[in-house]
Structure 1
């Protein structure tokens, strides 16, 4: 018998309930607020030329925002083009080609503006490109004549598709080319032979390109080989086919995969080994591909820069190639600006901090216009990556944009400044009931809003001091975390939100339930075919919860046939057959938790036992 670990009776919802606890407080939609972009297309938007084009832009706000677009930084007049329309209550563009037109005519850089009377929010700059799968140029290829034992490279040179096609090699009869340490495809699509053998003449070699959007495969005219044989193939020391020479350099962006490649010729076929100068390869991120000819390091960071070298060796000698790796970085957030909700007269700040290599520059905008060209605001001060607001007034409402960029990319963030006078209000249903299993961690939610932002306190059973610290933790969004539930934690919890304009409160009733436990588990058993076997499964559970007991065989739901009898505390199998051998898992579950216990049934020999 076995009990899976960790204990399966742990309430599964606990794994989810601790997510998003530090989220920003949102303004209820019935209150006035500037626009917020809620959905947009990716920055590099590649579309299928056979379909209508969709460029997404959705936003919320009160009043509901209106939308307009720019294309290549100039106003894009949707009304003037009969093929272009904007979805109702949305900024999403639809470009329809059912009545003709070329998608390529609409390529360019698009940006969406969502506007209401309190400000303007911007989408990213969306670069629209149409997928391309150009035809392979026709060419007649002469047979490739090569000496036995010599190295050979068959070049693919695929047409430049968008996105780049997937390359693979096959014969003209569509049989895959067998690849191994001696013959393999490089990252550039070429097929490399470390040394040619007579058997390589038994097939031809065709490079194939598979294009993503059209799902088409284009095949290059095949290469045929003519191998000139000799009495004996001379053994040779390794020599690099790719990259050339003894040293090269490579640049990779932070967060991307680094792929280093070394392909060598030689007789016998060389082995490839990889090293990093002054340290070990990062074991958690490094993996070898293509018969050790490629080293991939996933999600690189600045620490992965340095000198790597590959060693190609056979019994005739060894050579090495050094690759100097530089890790650069497109901008990434250190402190992304967040919406600022203030009451009249309050102070606040927007912070926009990003890092990158080279170090990115920061540009502030307000309602889509450069800040320096906006009307002066004596209550606003710009200090590099921070905007400071003092004694804020209703007239200060706006949407600010921070654009941070370097030669490798950019980040654009919108953050609004909203000035409101709102007494506290509760945002969830009143008097909720939360049931939780003993000794679990749980969360009691109390979403709230007010301006100035209210302070929130929790009390238990309407008395005592504010709950925070020890077994309790209150998060920014008002949620109360109880780290380990005990029986004495059962009761009524009250959250109270207070600001200068008033207070609001809500209650949550917490009930603590006993865990479901299998106290008599099924035992491993060895039985003869044709006999009867019983697997026990006795369960203790909280009587206020509904218990369900089910069985799995080999981790799949068990069908209870006419040879089986399932009772509350056991499973009986009559006339055991060979097919009954396997693992049996008893699953005892309530609406809050579950417990599992597993046993293995082994069926032996022939037993000519009469069926009862």
Structure 2
């Protein structure tokens, strides 16, 4: 079954001596329901002064004419096989000439600016009674700002749209024919923080000192925290934070491009918190991500394209120099700079166009340079050494001992890069256990290990570069 339960009740009843009064409770639960009544914790004695009834789930204690000594705490209890429930009612019988008194006086209250607050109290005493409200000595009247309420012994004052001037002492005055009584409370207004001056976003050069500063108002004490993104900052290293009562500053020393980002100032107090975001952008110096090739070999009358890649914060200015003299746009020199790619195009080159070409990239944050050596050539020479005869003479035959190691070596004069081909009796020679081919700068060699009859023959070396090729050869035979 359902447990016995009180669903409607009277908690505080106040009547004047001689008046009738009813304490009433509505209950629920599965029968059989049993009722009990107590006064001040003791079973209520039988009396002709009142009548007790329980009908249709409504229990009543009815006083025909209340007397002063009937005042007290009345407890009603309802029970069945599955539960028990009770409720206590404070019953006060007043003398007809009882002056007002506060059963629940006003309390001090903290509230936040721009919100609403309510001052509450409870009053007993003979009716009729009037209630007045005062701030300091000035009476408050109902208006859009003030709502005044008084009913059944409860008095309240609601104050809307609080501002700093609403702070102070409030008095509730209850008056009847027997006298008057005051209760007072102090209203404290807490102001959440707000910025007077917010930290400002900044674009700076690398290695600068940056200072973000905020000033604010609000009820002290205020707590200030600084963040970069989600990470809280603390004083130390290249960061210094200074906070006063109503101001705070963040200093960053010798900033780098990776110090760029969002810097947040958060100010809090008991009434709330507020944040402000300032952006820091540290300019990135101009720098080459891909430099010019170290050397360029160009055929006389031909063309060359010098390219390099640049990074950095715009605007970047590109300047080209040849042997420290600035180049200007002309038929021979055409310059472009798009999508980080800097290009110098040389056309119809002459021998005197050989030299060092320098590209300079510059912006507010710094500069960088890279260079290349351009050589304008029309020839390639090979000078044989040791076993190789010179190109101007007849091929020289050469005799070697069986099982000896033979080295054919020549020096190349000309402009790299070179392509080298070795041939024996018109068949290509490749690196193997028998042959080792090496090229070190201008020195080219073929090493033949444990020379035997199968190695006898004519050895040729062909060297090629962008502008020509050369050939030298030697006949190698066995001794004896």
Q: Is this a same-fold pair by TM over 0.5?
A: no
TM-score normalised to the size of structure 1? Answer: 0.35
**Bigger-Rg structure (1/2):** 2
TM-score (norm 2): 0.43
Q: Which is bigger in relative contact order (C-alpha 8 A, separation at least 6)?
A: 1
